[in-house]
Structure formats: structure tokens, C-alpha cells
Structure 1
Amino acid sequence: MTKNRTTFPPVLTRHADAETCVDPSSTMRLLGEGRHTDGGFTSYRSTFAEGAVGAPAHFHTKATELFFVLGGALCVLVGEEVTVLREGDFLSVPPHTPHAFAAAPGFTADVLFVFDRHMDRFAYLRLLGRVMRGEADPKEIAESAERFDNHYVESAAWRDALKVG
């Protein structure tokens, strides 16, 4: 007896074909979004300049966010703990867990990000780039919280970590 299985097309993005979003302190290469898979996924690669702040404290209600450091060092907040991820380190942040990230003091960072749910995150990254370049109003980020499953929170631990760096 054969199970009725839905098959989904592979997602292949060649390096030369990947859309690139550039802002003053980072470059994001949009690798792939699987809208047709079970729950979908989003993957992109970000390179952060020394001193670049990647994202303030936030959480997702649906998605697990995965980080893999390809090079350099990334300072991250997970819950209320701040740590540094170095080349080869992997981190999985489950839904409802506050987190933030920035290039670790004195380092650049090259990071592969994967979300286990498709939430049109490429549209969010494009919006973020426009805001960072002064081409869009920062209010658009706050207004898009539900659409992109990005919910910003205050974190004294993260604020203190940024002061030290």
C-alpha cells in the first residue's frame, strides 16, 4: 500500500542569482524560501560589519530561528543570557524566546539564518533594509509585527551587553 504523499519542488538558489540587500552595516543574501513545504522555511546569509547591531530584542510566536556562524563572532541574547557564538557554532531559538544579535565587539560576523516557518521573511528583510537606509519609516517595522511574526521587547540584559561592547 502506497501512502499518498505530496511532493514539493526543491529550492535551489545559485550564489550569483541570490538577491542581495545592503544596509549601512550589513549585507543580507536571500537564499531561499520554501512556501510549498510543510510549514515552509526561510534561509538567508548575513555579513555584519564590526560593531553592527543585527537585531534588537524580539521573539517569534510561530517560528524557530536557527543560527550557524560561518565566520567571525556573533554576540547573542537568548532569554536573559548573553553569549558569543564563534565560527562553527550553532544556535536554535524556539518560539516565544526573546533573542537579539550583533557582531561581537571587535569582530565581523558571517551568519547563516534559517526559519522553520515561511512568514514572507524576505519581504521583512527588504523593508528592514529600506528603513536602515532611510528610505522607509521605522513605524512600518512595528506595524508589520503580526505579518512577519517579529515581536520586539525590552531587554535590560541586551541593553547592558551593548553598553559593554
Structure 2
Amino acid sequence: MNMAHAEELLTENLDPVLGSLSWETSEWVGDIQVGTHHVRLLIDLDEEDHSRERQIESIAYAKALLPKVLKNEAQLRRQAADEIAEAAGSEASEKDRRRYASEVDSAAAAMEPQVLCISFPDGGYLECRDATQAFYGASTVVIRFDDEGNYEEAEVDFE
């Protein structure tokens, strides 16, 4: 990267929707409110092109996607809990399958958002921790969503 190109990059951005953002290598970093939780916001430029124009485009993309994700956030957690319970139940006894299914709402409610990553230009993910540690222990639940804020899949990252 030549010096002229490096000088063109934005280093900070103050946005009325996204708040204060700082540029770190290939992503914008900030903080945002998701429900009652204060979470780390990442706007990740997936591509190699980290030009000023792409930086600005990524902010516009995040501003358009954020309201959709916030609107769907509780449903994203619910669908993740449902999918995880179904996967766990597939190897369990009938009694345990019923128990997993009965705990989906509690498990979804226990997921506290920690990080919201918007991957420019194609969706992103929400990282949650189980506040109670009753459902997922000390692991992180990663909930992926598409460019409309709709649920795609979930995974549990055990530590």
C-alpha cells in the first residue's frame, strides 16, 4: 500500500445511527445498544479493497442492515436456541428431547449479545454468551444472519 493510498483512508467516523467508529486494519470498531445490552460493533470489510470509498460504503451498508438485525434480534436468538436444541436432541433420549424443546425459550432469553459483526457486503453474525451458563456453559453462540437480517445458522464455539 503506498503512502498516498494510506493517507486517504478514514480513521474515525461519527455517525448518528452507528455512533463513534474507529478504523482498525480492515474493519470499523464501535459500540452499540442491542436490546438492553451494550455490545461491540464490528463492520468488517471482507474484501481486500479497503479504500476510502469502500469504508464509506460499508458504513452505509451497516446503517441499512442494523435496523433489520435489531428488529429480528430476539427471533435470531430463538431460532438459534431451537436449532441447537434440535441438534442436541437428535442424539438424546425421548425424555431429553422433550426437555431440550421445553427449554428453548429460556435458552434464547439467556443469550446475552456481546459482539455484533456486520460483514460488508453480505450479512454478518451476532455473538452471544449464556448469562446463566445453564444452557451453553462458558461457550459462545454465534448466530449468522443474511443481508436482510434473517437467520441463517448458529454454532456453539466451546472454549
TM over 0.5: no
TM-score in terms of structure 1 length: 0.25
Structure having the larger proportion of residues in strand: 1
TM-score in terms of structure 2 length: 0.25
Q: Which has the larger radius of gyration?
A: 2
